[in-house]
Structure 1
Amino acid sequence: MTVYGIPNCNTVKKALDWLKAHQIDFEFHDFKKKGITSEKLNEWCNTFGWETVLNRKGLTWKKLTKEEQAKIDNQDLAIAYLKENTSAIKRPVIAQNNKAILIGFDDDNYLKTLT
């Protein structure tokens, strides 16, 4: 299992604590340090929808003007933006067998999917 995220994100911390408490082994991929590929972002967008992968609640997105935000209106533009601004990726993304299965953190979803 791989957890994609950034270590100082509170939601990522909750997810990592949950996984540790449930004794689930994982590898952590810090996409601030290791980056993220367009292929991986495309996969996540195809799985969850680009509107979900693009974190519109975060500071990175909110720093954009309304005009800049309005221009990101499809998956290709969202992926281009997310490659340059990895902090705007909703996190964490949990992958099992190299396939994304969860995005964000929700205790009930983690229980249903991972236990």
Structure 2
Amino acid sequence: MITLYGIPNCDTVKKARAWLIEQGLDYQFHDFKKQGVPDPNLAHWQQAVGWETLLNRKGTTWRQLDAGQQAAVRDDASAQALMRAQVSVIRRPVVEWGDGRVTVGFDAAAWATRP
């Protein structure tokens, strides 16, 4: 089963959900805001894609952090602590494809070539 993690009002998440529906793929949606981010999943995502990929440094939440908070994020542990405290700083969507693979962000061309 495909699980798409994100925030429902995020434009990229909306595009990803629409793409999955257009492809006829069943998926489960997990809302970060309402359901939080399961700790084991967050650790798995970091192992799969790296904390640098998972952390959204271009988003509003990151830009609203003070310079000290931003500078404190320098490794897996510090990134994970911030992502637990501020779920909106996680790049979206995070997709668990059901085969153990994890992707971050939406790229229709890459998703279309996925095995």
TM-score calculated relative to the size of structure 2: 0.93
Alpha-carbon separation, structure 2, partners of 1:95 and 1:31 = 14
Number of residue pairs matched by the alignment = 114
Point out 4+ residue stretches in structure 1 off by more than 4 angstroms: none
RMSD over aligned Cα, in angstroms?
A: 1.3
For structure 2, list consecutive stretches of 5 or more residues without a partner in the other structure.
none
CA shift, 1:68, in A, is 1.6
TM-score calculated relative to the size of structure 1: 0.93
User: 1:1-115 counterparts in 2 under 5 A?
Assistant: 1-97=2-98, 99-113=100-114
Q: Which moved more, 1:6-15 or 1:29-38?
A: 29-38
CA shift, 1:35, in A, is 0.6
Alpha-carbon separation, structure 2, partners of 1:35 and 1:28 = 12
CA shift, 1:98, in A, is 6.8
Alpha carbons 1:2, 1:28 under 8 Å: kept: yes
For structure 1, list consecutive stretches of 5 or more residues without a partner in the other structure.
none
SS in 1 for 2:29: strand
Alpha-carbon separation, structure 2, partners of 1:96 and 1:105 = 13
Alpha carbons 1:37, 1:83 under 8 Å: kept: no
